[in-house]
Amino acid sequence: VASRKVIPVPAGTRVAFQGEPGAFSQTACNQLFGPRIEVVPCPSFDSVFEAVRRRVVPYAVVPIENSLAGSVHQNYDLMERHAIEVLGETFVRIEHSLIALPGATLRSVRKVYSHPVALAQCLRFFKRFPRMEPVQFYDTAGSVKHIRETELEGAAAIASAESATIYGMKVLRRGIEDDAGNFTRFLALAPRGKVRHRGGKTSIVFALRNEPGALFKALSVFALREVDLSKIESRPILGKPWEYLFYADLRADTRSAACDNALRHLREFVPYFRLLGSYRTY
Amino acid sequence: VASRKVIPVPAGTRVAFQGEPGAFSQTACNQLFGPRIEVVPCPSFDSVFEAVRRRVVPYAVVPIENSLAGSVHQNYDLMERHAIEVLGETFVRIEHSLIALPGATLRSVRKVYSHPVALAQCLRFFKRFPRMEPVQFYDTAGSVKHIRETELEGAAAIASAESATIYGMKVLRRGIEDDAGNFTRFLALAPRGKVRHRGGKTSIVFALRNEPGALFKALSVFALREVDLSKIESRPILGKPWEYLFYADLRADTRSAACDNALRHLREFVPYFRLLGSYRTY
């Protein structure tokens, strides 16, 4: 079997992620950095970014977008607040399982714990089993751990089948997500300026002057040079109601003349610009 | 005092909103339709849209964007799924208060219940009072009601000061939001085609062919005619990973030649287009 290409780091390198062991983010960590890293579970996205900023870990992995739920806006905001750089991206197929204590059956389940996004991705399952009440929890794998530790009767969790193995729990049903086209895009992050991997994808953030045609003008720098945009996302600017920061992903490498020129052109007229990274897909 | 202009409806007209009496959405209902309507509280945004679709109510009001938290993406998705029309918009200043049982003091509070967005808007308050643990609840005013009904000791809610009055509760502290520039934009909705108010704002939704420069080309129809975009928002298209629907707000009336021509031009080449409404600000 050919080994999958990963970001080259020494064995035992610490990589932070949000969630508990068995979380989809852990799968993303291994897809990005390989199997020989030490993963560092963190309780929140804030604490993941803090761990990188305070150099507690050299790298972190966060989800940025899900193909069904859309962008993880909190992480866009955190990328803007912290001096981080994007090193790489990867895509994880999200397959949700219903997981409970070893003695449980589908009929015994009354409450189903999981992360709000995971709950929202299994609406058809909840319509089929109206007796089951969804309960919001901070993490998918964390809800498996919670049910195991508290021996919670009548409860189940929605999480990866891997997390059932980790906590010695039973998979009551696999693949309960509404849509099989359920993928999450994760980014590998490092403190800004530490390393500079390059690749076919470039992420930027910029603000616009509050004037007619400003976004059109900004997109023209790419369109005129045939640099393709794969994603654009707007986020409010705090303290400036109804003004926005724009996050854009380009299918281009900053080393290419077209991309480099486009970014220089954009910087000529936007009031704020930042390069988040130029990287490849792992 | 000059009376504020509202959408003209008969006294007693039923208007649905998400939340409990005292919610900020109720304030929005009255700003949009005046004080003589009958407001109909609903448990979820889904049920608000269902109530309109099944003609249980002729109108509804939903939040679409907050100046700090960003768009309410669920309501963008629900607008797309239901045959509704936008009749008007209004802006409500969000002032959060800490509310508890009449005998409570600031020192006695251990758990603070509220809607996740309201909790996220009071982070500085939680940093100042680290003993207080935020607890996610389905509604701001609903958390006040919950504490009242269960006589919950050691608990407080984050909600509008008006909701304290409604439920006979005590305001422990006013204005606990991080940022005074905290406004929510609400839309008045009706079943599609029922009425057609016009005004200086137009909302549309469209898809793009998955090809380079597609968004630039779409925005060109407005830029070339000096039709100003006040907002653009992308949402994933279910079943088509990494393709997006775009929601745009134009500072223009569909009765103007520039706007009408721009929309006709856009429809020439986009695979999907829908006019959500042309309306005024109340």
Q: Taking CB atoms and an 8 Å limit, are A231 and B240 in contact across chains?
A: no
Indicate the residue of A229, A230, A234 with minimum beta-carbon distance to B232. Answer: A234
Q: Taking CB atoms and an 8 Å limit, are B231 and A234 in contact across chains?
A: yes
Mean pLDDT of all residues in B47-52:
96
For the ranges A69-78, A195-204, B142-151, the lowest mean pLDDT is seen at: A195-204
The predicted structure's pLDDT at residue B195: 58
For the ranges A45-59, A216-230, A264-278, B183-197, the lowest mean pLDDT is seen at: B183-197
pLDDT in tens, B155-206: 999 999 989 999 999 999 999 999 888 899 999 999 987 656 678 999 999 9
In the predicted structure, residue A2 carries a pLDDT above the cut 70? no
> In angstroms, rounded to a whole number, what is the distance separating the alpha carbons of residues B40 and B19?
9
Optimal mutation site among A137, A216, A231, A238, interface B, most CBs of chain B within 10 A: A216
Q: How confident is the model at residue B149 (pLDDT cuts 50, 70, 90)?
A: very high
Instruction: Decide if A238 contacts B179 (C-beta within 8 A).
Output: yes
> In angstroms, rounded to a whole number, what is the distance separating the alpha carbons of residues B218 and B262?
9
Beta bridge partners of A15: A39, A59
Residues of B in contact with A230 (CB under 8 A): 242
Mean pLDDT of all residues in A79-84:
91
Residues of A in contact with B244 (CB under 8 A): 231
CA A132 from centre of chain? 28
The predicted structure's pLDDT at residue B116: 85
The predicted structure's pLDDT at residue B69: 81
B47 touches chain A (CB under 8 A): no
The predicted structure's pLDDT at residue B3: 59
pLDDT in tens, B106-127: 999 999 999 888 998 899 999 9
Q: How confident is the model at residue A12 (pLDDT cuts 50, 70, 90)?
A: very high
Two structure tokens written together for A266: 């954009």
> In angstroms, rounded to a whole number, what is the distance separating the alpha carbons of residues A157 and A173?
11
Check residue B77 and report its DSSP letter: H
Q: Which residue has the tokens 């080259």?
A: A8
In the predicted structure, residue B150 carries a pLDDT above the cut 50? yes
Average per-residue pLDDT for chain B: 92
Indicate the residue of B181, B227, B229 with minimum beta-carbon distance to A239. Answer: B181
Say what percent of chain A tops pLDDT 70.
98
Q: Which residue has the tokens 């057609």?
A: B196
Two structure tokens written together for B134: 């935020």
Q: How far is CA B63 from CA A17, A245, B186, in A?
A: 32, 21, 4
Indicate the residue of A228, A233, A236 with minimum beta-carbon distance to B212. Answer: A228
Beta bridge partners of A39: A15
**Which one is predicted more confidently, B129 or B68?**
B129
In the predicted structure, residue B52 carries a pLDDT above the cut 80? yes
Beta bridge partners of A89: A187, A281
B44 touches chain A (CB under 8 A): no
For the ranges A61-65, A200-204, A277-281, B65-69, the lowest mean pLDDT is seen at: B65-69
Check residue A51 and report its DSSP letter: H
Question: Whose CA is closest to B222, among B191, B199, B250?
Answer: B250
Q: Which residue has the tokens 């509220």?
A: B114
Q: Work out whether strand B170-173 and strand B183-191 pair parallel, antiparallel, or are unpaired.
A: unpaired
> In angstroms, rounded to a whole number, what is the distance separating the alpha carbons of residues B114 and B127?
16
Q: Taking CB atoms and an 8 Å limit, are A226 and B212 in contact across chains?
A: yes
Q: Taking CB atoms and an 8 Å limit, are A67 and B236 in contact across chains?
A: yes
| A222 belongs to the catalytic site | no
Residues of A in contact with B223 (CB under 8 A): 212-213, 216-217
Two structure tokens written together for A150: 């508290």
B252, with CB counted inside 10 A (0-12, 13-18, 19+), is buried
Compute how many other C-beta atoms are within 10 angstroms of the C-beta atom of residue A179. Answer: 15
Compute how many other C-beta atoms are within 10 angstroms of the C-beta atom of residue A199. Answer: 18
Q: Which residue has the tokens 């500085």?
A: B124
> In angstroms, rounded to a whole number, what is the distance separating the alpha carbons of residues B123 and B120?
6
How close is the nearest chain B Cα to the Cα of A219, in Å? Answer: 6
Cβ within 8 Å of B, A 130-189: 136, 179, 181, 183
pLDDT in tens, A173-184: 999 999 888 899
How close is the nearest chain A Cα to the Cα of B212, in Å? Answer: 5
**Active site positions of B, annotated:** 184, 186
The predicted structure's pLDDT at residue A197: 67
Question: Whose CA is closest to A191, among A277, A280, A83?
Answer: A83
Q: Cα torsion at A28, A112, A76, A39 (round to 10°)?
A: -30
The predicted structure's pLDDT at residue A262: 97
Q: Please tell me whether residue B149 adopts helix, strand or coil conformation.
A: helix
Indicate the residue of B67, B216, B244 with minimum beta-carbon distance to A236. Answer: B67
Instruction: Decide if B146 contacts B157 (C-beta within 8 A).
Output: yes
**Letter string b/e over residues B213-246, b meaning 16 or more CB atoms within 10 A of that residue's CB:** bbbbbbbbbbbebebebbbbbbbbbbeebbebbb
The predicted structure's pLDDT at residue B48: 97
Mean pLDDT of all residues in B34-56:
94
CA of B137: which chain A residue's CA is closest?
Answer: A136
The terminus-to-terminus CA distance of chain A in angstroms comes to 17
Mean pLDDT of all residues in A9-24:
94
Instruction: Decide if B188 contacts B59 (C-beta within 8 A).
Output: yes
> In angstroms, rounded to a whole number, what is the distance separating the alpha carbons of residues A36 and A15?
11
Q: Cα torsion at B210, A232, B213, A219 (round to 10°)?
A: 170
Cβ contacts below 8 Å, chain A against chain B, sum to 88
The predicted structure's pLDDT at residue A199: 87
The predicted structure's pLDDT at residue A281: 93
Average per-residue pLDDT for chain A: 92
The pTM of this model reads: 0.85
In the predicted structure, residue B2 carries a pLDDT above the cut 60? no
Q: How confident is the model at residue B1 (pLDDT cuts 50, 70, 90)?
A: very low
> In angstroms, rounded to a whole number, what is the distance separating the alpha carbons of residues B41 and B26?
8
Mean pLDDT of all residues in A219-226:
95
pLDDT in tens, A224-246: 999 999 999 898 887 788 889 99
In the predicted structure, residue B17 carries a pLDDT above the cut 90? yes
Q: B223 — phi, psi (to 5°)?
A: -60, -40
Q: Taking CB atoms and an 8 Å limit, are B234 and A232 in contact across chains?
A: yes
Indicate the residue of A70, A216, A217 with minimum beta-carbon distance to B235. Answer: A70
> In angstroms, rounded to a whole number, what is the distance separating the alpha carbons of residues A143 and A136?
9
CA of A93: which chain B residue's CA is closest?
Answer: B241
Mean pLDDT of all residues in A74-84:
92
The predicted structure's pLDDT at residue A1: 45
Spell out the alpha helix ranges (H) of B99-158.
116-120, 123-128, 140-150
Q: Work out whether strand A84-93 and strand A272-281 pair parallel, antiparallel, or are unpaired.
A: parallel
